[in-house]
Chain A
Amino acid sequence: MKISDIFKNGIYKKNAILIMLLGMCPTLAVTTSLSNAIGMGVSVIAILTMSNILISTLRKIIPPAARIPAYIGIIAALVTIIEMLIHAYVPTLYVSLGIYLPLIVVNCIILERAESFASKNKILYAAFDGLAVGLGFTLALLLISAIRELLGTGALLGFTILPSATNMLIMILPPGAFLTLGIILGVMGHYANKKKEELENE
């Protein structure tokens, strides 16, 4: 296995959000602004990398029958640590992520990586896989939140870009989340279909 393949898979070939459709709750909920998306992305990268390392280290000790509770225990402990760190050092982010920060525990991406990758591979590969999948998750979050923040408030990270007449408040309200993700997936599907047809024609 090559490390470059791990990164290719994690970042775009098997992107957690846009291809695998995992972890929808935080994707839709925290993408109201770019800064929230960055906070969420960085927290998930940290938790995913550490949980992959821990689970890969313990993969020969954890009995197969009790593996899911063990994984959830490890993930919950890591989430608690990150939650306390953010509460102490970045209180504004703690407030704006709110309930979605402890909810990283039930983010299916982390459990899926633990089950399908970290429990079967060496520590180094597991660490890179956590980093790659986390980066893919963060990039997708950044894409969605950039579209929503720009169209909804006309600004990116607080810098005004579009005139206020073009602001569509709906984009930063809940419907905007569903709409943005639906359209992104539709556009991606269109290009995937086109590519498939080209391959068939050749």
Chain B
Amino acid sequence: MNNITFYFSLVFSGILIKNVLLSQFLGICPFLGVSKKTSSAIGMGISVTVVLVLASMVSYAFYYLVQVPFHLEFLRTISFIIIIASIVQLIEVLMKKYMRSMYESLGVYLPLITTNCAVLGIAIININNGYDFLGSILYALGSGLGFLLVIVLFSAIREKLELMDIPKAFKGLPIALITAAFMSLAFIGFGGIL
């Protein structure tokens, strides 16, 4: 029973409390870059979630099955970034071959994910916090869903902001950052739940 609450809290805190974007500042580049339209925000969010879960699984397995037994922990950063880059490449190739329509809508976001710090960040957090295999997957899933939720909400607000009468100097990125500040403020409120 205790285990179930622990796993549940991992997913939940990934989505709301320790949100990757608004409280941990991981993956801010796509957050600001790909959030002008809701459709592209959904595409980016889904791609990040898939890559996050797969990358956490593979990096967890690689770390505990290869690096720890051979005392190669210091190569963690290098090996994880190579794992992430290969996973992204693999997904791109598979998607191109078997899911043509999905590739056409999501394909452009895939190469960007290699340098998305959320993926490497979550993989390292999983190891640092000592989560087990299931915990790592669930935390990655929660973080991915949190990323999806926030980037979609943010893009919806930004679409409306385009039509607003904003001081000229604040148009574009400055007002987007201030919007993100208020969203982040709202998400602090979730901290009291767990």
Binding site for B on A (CB under 8 A): 21-22, 24-25, 28-29, 69, 72-73, 76-77, 79-80, 83-84, 99, 102-103, 105-108, 111, 170, 173-179, 181-183, 185-187, 189-190, 192-193
Nearest residue (CB) in A for B79 is A76
Question: B180 at interface (Cβ–Cβ under 8 A)?
Answer: yes
Rounded to whole Å, the gap between the CB of A120 and the closest CB of chain B is 20
**Chain B interface residue count, Cβ-Cβ cutoff 8 angstroms:** 43
Minimum distance in angstroms from A79 CB to a CB of chain B: 6
Chain B min CB distance to A145 (Å): 14
A-B contact count (CB 8 A): 116
Cβ-closest chain B residue relative to A182: B177
Which among B120, B177, B185 is the interface contact of A103 at CB below 8 angstroms?
B120
CB closest chain-B residue, reference A177: B25
- C-beta contact mask, B50-84 vs A, less than 8 Å → 1, else 0? 00000000000000000000000011111001100
Q: Find out whether the CB atom of B22 lies under 8 angstroms from the CB atom of A174.
A: yes
**Known contacts A28-B25, A102-B77; A189/B169 CB under 8 A:** yes
B residues apposed to A, CB below 8 Å = 22-29, 32, 74-78, 81-82, 85, 114-117, 120-121, 124-125, 128, 167-171, 173-178, 180-182, 184-185, 188
Q: Which of B82, B124, B184 contacts A99 (CB 8 A)?
A: B124
Q: How far is the CB of A144 from chain B (nearest CB, A)?
A: 12
Given contacts A21-B173, A108-B29, A174 and B178 within 8 Å (CB-CB): no
Contact of A185 with B85 in the complex, beta carbons under 8 Å = no
Contacts A21-B173, A25-B25 supplied; 18 other A-B pairs, CB < 8 Å: A25-B27, A28-B28, A72-B85, A99-B121, A102-B76, A103-B117, A103-B120, A103-B121, A106-B116, A107-B117, A173-B188, A174-B23, A176-B181, A177-B181, A179-B178, A182-B174, A190-B169, A193-B169
